[in-house]
Amino acid sequence: MAIVAVSISPIGAGTSVSRHVAAALRVAREQQRVQVRLDSMFTTLEGELHEVMALIGRMQEAVFEAGAERVSTVIKIDDRRDRAARMQDKVRAVEERLEAAREKN
């Protein structure tokens, strides 16, 4: 299972890109196989890598369909094969370390 951070941005569309981000996110939320979490700078996707990559392609196309003439896409992939990893597990591991450090002090 892969955890993928993706940022899809139109270039030359002005200072606000929320309309384009919303178009991409609609595509992501309409499907059921990949988990989706919207954050302020990236959208995090979790699923089988080939499904995530296909979804990113559809999301990027949605940004073009929303009026973009040029699109920049940044992708960061965490594809762990030694054990199952979920996006909420990664966050929980950091929170637990922070809590342990607080208790120690």
pLDDT digits (tens, 9 = 90+) for 34-58: 999 999 999 999 999 999 999 999 9
Amino acid at 73: T
49 and 41 in contact (C-beta within 8 Å)?
no
**Residue 37 burial (CB count, 10 A):** 15
CA distance 5 to 42: 6
> How much is the mean pLDDT over the chain?
93
The boundaries of the domain holding residue 13 are 2-104
CA distance 47 to 67: 28
Q: What is the CATH number of the domain that holds 15?
A: 3.30.70.930
CA distance 57 to 61: 6
Total structural domains within the chain: 1
Residue 101 has pLDDT above 80, yes or no: yes
Confidence of residue 67 (pLDDT cuts 50, 70, 90): very high
CA distance 84 to 43: 20
Which one of 17-21, 56-60, 84-88 scores highest in mean pLDDT? 56-60
